[in-house]
Structure 1
Amino acid sequence: MSKGYTHIYTGNGKGKTTAAFGVVLRSIMIDKKVYVGQFIKGMKYSETKLENTFTNLKIEQYGVECFIDSEPLEDDFKRALLGYNYALNALKSCKFDLIVLDEIFIAYFYKMISKDQIINLIESKCQSTELILTGRYCPKELYEFADLVTEMTEVKHYYSEGVLSREGIDC
């Protein structure tokens, strides 16, 4: 690919990370080099096991644990800043065909990184690198920096009926 595009997957519906990992899987299957940086996540999810199978995939987590039901701690802020720097280095390196910054908009929502930092990430990517940014709460002002924006809307979710995340389906 001569031009890499910037995608935003946002909204309150399920499937943002899943959609991003669909593109990851497509890319690694044709030997593209892929980097995934997961903001706020520190627990091993099912998708992180892909790294054990594919040598052309690197996954780094920039979270301590997922704090969605609580407030982030000081260490969460430190890890987000560290993650920002890792992501910036990956984007500037031109080593990767696809870079996914998962839950970056959650980190923004909790004021762990700024809108200007996100813009800097987008503007720092190599021309040929495809970039996917995911997470709820993407500020609409960032839409102008993307080539593709998808808002996933929750219509109905079994979570509201008390069904927790199920391994292999939701996590």
Structure 2
Amino acid sequence: MDTGASSHLADNTGILISFSNSSMYPSVFVGNGKSIPITHTGHSFLHTSYKPLNLNHILVTSHIIKNLISVREFTRDNDVSVEFNAYGFSVKDYQTQKILLRCDSTDDLYPVTQQPSSQTLIVLLSLSSTTWHRRLGHPGDDVLHRLESSNLISCNKSKLSALCHACQLCKHVKLSFHSS
């Protein structure tokens, strides 16, 4: 987290969910007054147990040592506040003051101690619960509901639309053998 950065900066596109080769900024100025070229722009998310937090308009350049999150852009895009103290920082929902993310710091910097979404197992596709039911090995409605409420999957239809043929076959009792 950087209170002095006017834009989010990343050293590669690997942490981005989507990106383009064009940028409205051909270069940016850094603290020592030098200009560094921008190769891509894109966006990503920071996932919390409550909601994903947007990282919009990330500028990509291989000329930086640390990725930076602009506190100004971050708070504006997510309607959150960021509170710093000697032990780290907290991201809070601006309306409810609920802590969405807490990161501890032991050095001079305030690192985000969570991997961006492209390196986590969180899935953001919006599919029907029937499709998730089949892909995840035919779990029950309660399991799918827990996964959805934990933001691990996203369903555009909450309920299974029909009885699953495979589940019905698996629940049949085996018929006994004929005596012949």
TM range (shorter): under 0.3
Task: Judging by fraction of residues, say which structure has more strand.
Answer: 2
Larger radius of gyration: 2
**Which fold has the larger relative contact order, with Cα–Cα distance below 8 Å and residues 6 or more apart in sequence?**
1
Provide the TM-score with structure 2 as the length reference. Answer: 0.22
